[in-house]
Amino acid sequence: MSKTISASSKTSLSAPCLVVCAAAIALAFVSSYIQLVKMPFGGSVTMLSMLFICLIGYWYGNKIGLITGFAYGILQFIQEPYFLNVFQMCCDYLFAFVALGLAGTFAGKKHGLIKGYLLAVFVRGVFHSIGGYLFWMSYMPDNFPKSISAIYPIVYNYSFLGVEAMLTIVVLSIPSVQKALENIKRNVI
């Protein structure tokens, strides 16, 4: 019998759960270094790094997913810190990566992992876009067209997030990957 840390009767962090969360954070962190495309002003298309955090939210629920995303956000800040002020750091690191834990929203529904993953990526993009609009736009050159300044952070952030999301959905659509994830869920979770 494993000891649990419980905030409520519905959500508990057992020792096996903590191990799976730590493994997911490690896999996400390592895969974030495999950058298929690196964007000029931050962000990149990685080798499915968001998926590992999203799986925790999907398998264990949003609460544990959000906690895992928070820990991962701190590691992302340590990995490649860009700091203008506390609110920008929260938008670009803490809130954005915490959002990946929302993948559990559609757990138990048909195509729940894909729906939850897309929701998590969308919300992550919202936080990056807010940070981009409020903080990073002031660093654009003077000749940057003002007519697109409102939409630029949205286009910029969803360009790399969207590509990685599409790659991840393709991988998740492979029957052998689906079967492997089901086996992990059944035997480990």
Q: What is the pLDDT of residues 9-35, one digit of tens each?
A: 345 789 999 999 999 999 999 999 999
pLDDT digits (tens, 9 = 90+) for 39-65: 988 889 999 999 999 999 999 999 999
Q: How far apart are CA 156 and CA 177, in angstroms?
A: 30
Q: Would 31 be classed as within a structural domain?
A: yes
Q: Which domain holds residue 115?
A: 15-187
Assessment of whether the complete model's pTM goes beyond 0.75: yes
In a domain, 79, yes or no: yes
Number of compact structural domains in the chain = 1
Cα–Cα dist 104/114, whole Å? 10
Asked if residue 148 is part of any domain, the answer here is yes
Q: Does residue 5 fall inside a structural domain? A: no
